[in-house]
Amino acid sequence: MSHPSICLFSAADLKAETGTPPPERILSGSPASKTWNYRESADGKFFSGIWQSTPGKWRIEYDEEEFCHIIEGVSIIIDERTSIATTVKSGDAFTLPAGFKGTWEVVETTRKHYAIYLP
């Protein structure tokens, strides 16, 4: 029986996946992202790593539960249901629940640690 090992996050030792939000969701700018996915569970329901995006604004819809810790940058997340805008910056940690809808605006290139669970 094998035992899982501790997974240290270091962007220097893993190739980043690049991407953008779907074009129909982009509201402004030309956001481009890099994702370093360090850990994925055997069942594919949990994964974690580092995500980074350049400035822009797009609509978000979460099917997953996500924990985020902002490493650098500034973003504004607006809850579609309440219209409440939350500014997140370096050092902030928060969760986004499954079912959350709104917008994510990267004001200054933002980098975060993430941990995602798919129900």
Q: Which helix (H) or strand (E) holds 109?
A: strand 101-117
- CA 60/CA 77 separation, integer angstroms: 9
In this prediction, residue 7 carries a pLDDT of: 81
- Give the list of residues 6+ apart from residue 33 with CB closer than 8 angstroms, or none: 18, 19, 20, 21, 51, 52, 53, 54
pTM of the full predicted structure?
0.90
SS3 3: coil
In the numeric block, which tokens belong to residue 83?
Answer: 């219209």
40-99: pLDDT as tens digits: 999 999 999 999 999 999 999 999 999 999 999 999 999 999 999 999 999 999 999 999
